[in-house]
Amino acid sequence: MFGELVAIPPQNRRQLARIAAWSLCLMLAAWLLATLPLPLVGLLLGAVGGGLLLLRWPWLAWPGIALLLPFTSGIKSGPLSLTDLLLAGAVALWFADGVRRKSLRLQSVSLSSWILPYLAVLLLASYAAVDLTEAVSEVVKWIEFALVVWLVGQTLTPGQSRWLVLALLAGGAAQGVLGIYQFLFRIGPDAFVLLGRFMRAAGSFHQPNPYAGYLGLTLPVAVSLALWGWQRSGAQGTPPVRPTMALLYSGLAGVMGAGLLASWSRGGWLGAVVGVGLVVLLRSRRMLLAGLVGLLALLLWGALGGISPSALPAPVADRLADVPAYFGVGIAQIVAQPVTDENFSVIERLAHWLAALRMWEISPWLGVGPGNYAVIYPQVRLLAWEDALGHAHNVYLNVLAETGLAGLAAYLLLWGSIIVWLWRAVRRNRSGTWEHALLVGVLGVVAHLTIHHLFDNLYVQGIHLHIALWLGVAALTNRPQTIDH
């Protein structure tokens, strides 16, 4: 009888093994429910379930990173954030899955290769860095940037890229909702109180300006896809888009736009005007004409506000009143003015611009070292401004200070090449397709980045990876085999 029990057919052995495994899992879950707090049990079960999904479909790591990036980038241990660990896990999953399937592909993606000259300058400039840890962190940031563009651009399928786009937009909408909540219910530090009854929105970024930058680097794609959805929902002779999709994209864009407005960030507003305006202008000739009329009306309204401030809403007029100072040539004279509550933010930024120029004078060709702005700042600061703020509040001056003329030239070459590539990709893809709308939106993202970087540094709290994900999707979308008419 014992011999008969041992001689179990192979298929039955596998079935018995599955039953035993599931039984063990159920007993483990029951033990966890009985001994651990319920929230912790939910977290553990969610982690296990997510891990199993990623083992089965490794590409899901990218939408997950895109959705959670604003939250996980703020959870840090030393120089590493939770986003860095998630990125390492996504790369490991890609590699393990490729080895298992014997399908590893190491193809070149032009967008990622254009980062190499700038990386080379960063490495050279690191030699003179006072704080090598900060220099290494900056180099690693740009290696991550290139890696994400490269992997996303060559490993995802067209269907998977749409899920990634939706995750990027959903992450922006989640931050928009959080910002609106902070704005209405005055959730935040006293320094962010606005008009005596609201609060400047900062989302999970803890500061309004990077929060506005993140939303501004997402909004143009949502607007472009919304315009595409409404245009195609009434199209004749082609498979129309369901109005629900147009409503979805419009709703996401509306929430992000409201969050951006609640940030009260002038740099974010200006970047959004340029980024979203470019999207509207490129949608069609009709949109181009409407956009030009709208721009003319906006300029006339602004000019009227300059003559009679009462023509603008009082809070907006007050917020924009000192913007012209940013474009003045007498920076030193402006900084020398007495500081008041009204001009504090402008003079503070201009003081850091002057500090960056003084750093550049120390080492004109290769700068003071990547990431070393705050380290050198005490040597070059103006007397009244002790806090380094971490960067120069102008990326171009910050790059000039940290990596010199060589770094600024490589940086401008990088983004100039990306802009030209995106423009050509927009021209190559047939108007009216989802791919064309996406590429127009990504071009709007880069336009926002270009303008907003005149007043701030958006390469903080994982935003560099957010930009890399957009460029990776653009590279994937522009592959000949991915164009779907």
Question: pLDDT tens-digit profile of 274-315?
Answer: 999 999 888 766 666 666 676 677 666 655 554 455 555 555
Distance of CA 369 to the CA centre of its chain: 25
**pLDDT given for residue 107 in this prediction:** 72
| 299: in domain | yes
The range of the structural domain enclosing residue 251 comes to: 111-326+387-482
Q: How confident is the model at residue 77 (pLDDT cuts 50, 70, 90)?
A: confident
**pLDDT given for residue 79 in this prediction:** 82
| 459: in domain | yes
Selection from 71-85, 231-245, 285-299, 461-475 with the highest mean pLDDT: 461-475
**pLDDT given for residue 385 in this prediction:** 85
Q: What is the pLDDT of residues 140-155, one digit of tens each?
A: 999 999 999 999 988 8
- Provide the domain count of the chain: 1
Query: What mean pLDDT do residues 377-387 have?
Result: 89
Selection from 105-114, 201-210, 231-240 with the highest mean pLDDT: 201-210
Instruction: With H, G, I as helix, E, B as strand and everything else as coil, classify residue 80.
Output: strand
Query: What mean pLDDT do residues 111-116 have?
Result: 86
Alpha carbon distance 44, 47 (integer Å) = 5
| 31: in domain | no
Alpha carbon distance 373, 459 (integer Å) = 14
Please tell me the least confidently modeled range out of 9-18, 271-280, 394-403.
Answer: 9-18
Query: What mean pLDDT do residues 452-478 have?
Result: 95
Q: Phi first, then psi: what are they for 386, rounded to 5°?
A: -85, -35
Alpha carbon distance 120, 475 (integer Å) = 23
Selection from 74-83, 295-304, 374-383 with the highest mean pLDDT: 374-383
pLDDT at 382 over 70: yes
pTM, to two decimals? 0.85
Query: What mean pLDDT do residues 236-251 have?
Result: 81
Q: What share of the chain is helix, strand, coil (3-state, %, to 5)?
A: 75, 0, 25
pLDDT at 2 over 50: no
Q: Which of 480, 478, 477 is nearest to 158 (CA)?
A: 477
**pLDDT given for residue 474 in this prediction:** 96
Q: Which of 69, 137, 208 is nearest to 370 (CA)?
A: 137
| 188: in domain | yes
Q: CB under 8 Å to 421, separation ≥6 — which residues?
A: 110, 111
| 75: in domain | no
pLDDT: is 13 or 90 the higher one?
90
| 292: in domain | yes
| 90: in domain | no
**pLDDT given for residue 388 in this prediction:** 87
Strand partners for 238: none
Please say whether the beta carbons of 210 and 462 come within 8 A: no
pLDDT at 4 over 70: no
pLDDT: is 44 or 70 the higher one?
70
Q: What is the pLDDT of residues 422-444, one digit of tens each?
A: 999 999 987 889 999 999 999 99
Per-chain mean pLDDT for the chain? 84
Alpha carbon distance 334, 332 (integer Å) = 5
Q: How confident is the model at residue 1 (pLDDT cuts 50, 70, 90)?
A: very low
pLDDT at 335 over 60: no
pLDDT at 410 over 60: yes
Q: What is the pLDDT of residues 149-176, one digit of tens each?
A: 999 988 899 999 999 999 999 999 999 9
Query: What mean pLDDT do residues 116-139 have?
Result: 95
| 38: in domain | no
**pLDDT given for residue 29 in this prediction:** 67
Alpha carbon distance 87, 93 (integer Å) = 10
